[in-house]
Amino acid sequence: MSIKPQPFTVSIAQSVLDDLQARLALTRLPERETVDDWDQGLPLSYARELLDYWRTGYDWRRCEAELNRWPHFKAEIEGLDIHFIHVKSSRADARPMIMTHGWPGSVLEFVNVIAALTEPEDAAQPAFHLVLPSLPGYGFSGKPDVAGWSVEKIAAAWDMLMRGLGYDRYFAQGGDWGAMVTSAIGAQDKGACAAIHVNMAVATPPPEVLAEPTPFEAQSLMRAGWYQEKDSGYSKIQSTRPQTLGYALTDSPMGQMCWIIEKFHGWSDCDGHPENVFSRDHLLDNVMLYWLNATAASSARLYWHSFAAGNLSEIQVPTGISAFPKELFRPSRRWAETRYKNIVYWNELDKGGHFAAMERPELFVGEVRRCFAGMAL
């Protein structure tokens, strides 16, 4: 497929930033909470801290400059403008790889791993040409105005993108929705994707796991149970009423921020507070990609598009799986093998959570390297 990538520069009008400041100044916070922890969501005291910093200490232009260090492009695929960062390695033996983020993340999840993956200091380590797209309805990508942009359609679009960039063979990697898209690329197996790596493997637990779980599996089932009981309300709303939710979050920057940052607490290996592993600036940078582009509804709509389909087709292509301890869904190998039929790399890590590339960049880079090191395209 022929595509025509056009260079793109991240440039937000000052009037948009002024509007944000005006809205933050008018923020109305709820009454005092009845708990002093995260049981009901993001604590009021931390919300106030973030609000004050966002108003007086945060600098979007810093983030804008950091983003523009990398080459950005847009290309029309299936009638939709897709934004992507495309960083080519100087190494002659570098291999192409597409890496996909999820919700409530963005391409900013990968900024701290780009250099290590494209230009490793150790010549013995593999190098990659990286393609980092923003999901449809996220970041600087276009917003679908028709139904149908499910995980499967995005996977097919990513294959078109890679082939359109001249990569007849490539690797694919992802976490969260990115893992679902990456798995769908593997399941579709259109002939160009040589292998995949995911840091969130999703598979239905087989009867033997439910009947006699190992200690690892019991812990994984407990984590999944916690998610279903205490942490999945956002998912039910986004998969059923994304438009209604979008009005509130698109109108209130504080609401959008709290809706997102709560997950960086519950889904990361952060010892009780997200800023133990993420900088405050990096957290707000990610929020800004949602706020500045007004993507509350369009990003949430991916749940509405995809959940009904199931998205659990078997994958036959070579697969690497890295199981981080605080991941939401962390199957054992025998559990994962019910869906991923050709696991060639498997590792259970001691540290890290759902936002692996952003949270533990060195560990993440090591996992990707080891997964693909010996593979040929």
Residue 198 phi, psi (nearest 5): -130, 150
C-alpha distance from residue 321 to each of 100, 171, 199, 224 (Å): 15, 14, 6, 18
Q: Is 290 a catalytic residue?
A: no
Residue 129 phi, psi (nearest 5): -85, 120
By CB atoms closer than 10 A (0-12, 13-18, 19+), residue 122 is exposed
Report the C-alpha gap between 86 and 223 in whole angstroms: 36
158 contact partners, CB below 8 Å, separation of at least 6 = 98, 100, 133, 172, 181, 185
Where b means 16+ CB within 10 Å and e means fewer, 277-286 reads bbebbbbbbb
Q: Is 303 a catalytic residue?
A: yes
Residue ranges with strand state E in 4-90? 6-8, 72-77, 80-87
User: Which is catalytic among the residues 101, 170, 176, 340?
Assistant: 176
C-alpha distance from residue 202 to each of 34, 297, 328 (Å): 35, 25, 10
User: Which is catalytic among the residues 303, 305, 340, 345?
Assistant: 303
Q: Is 354 a catalytic residue?
A: yes
- On the CB side of 178, how many CA atoms lie within 13 Å of its CA? 30
Report the C-alpha gap between 21 and 63 in whole angstroms: 17
User: Which is catalytic among the residues 86, 197, 265, 354?
Assistant: 354
Report the C-alpha gap between 247 and 294 in whole angstroms: 10
Q: CA nearest 229: which of 39, 77, 9? A: 39
Residue ranges with strand state E in the chain? 6-8, 72-77, 80-87, 95-100, 128-133, 170-174, 193-198, 319-323, 343-348
Angle between helices 44-56 and 280-292 (to 10 degrees): 80
Residues marked active site are found at 176, 303, 354
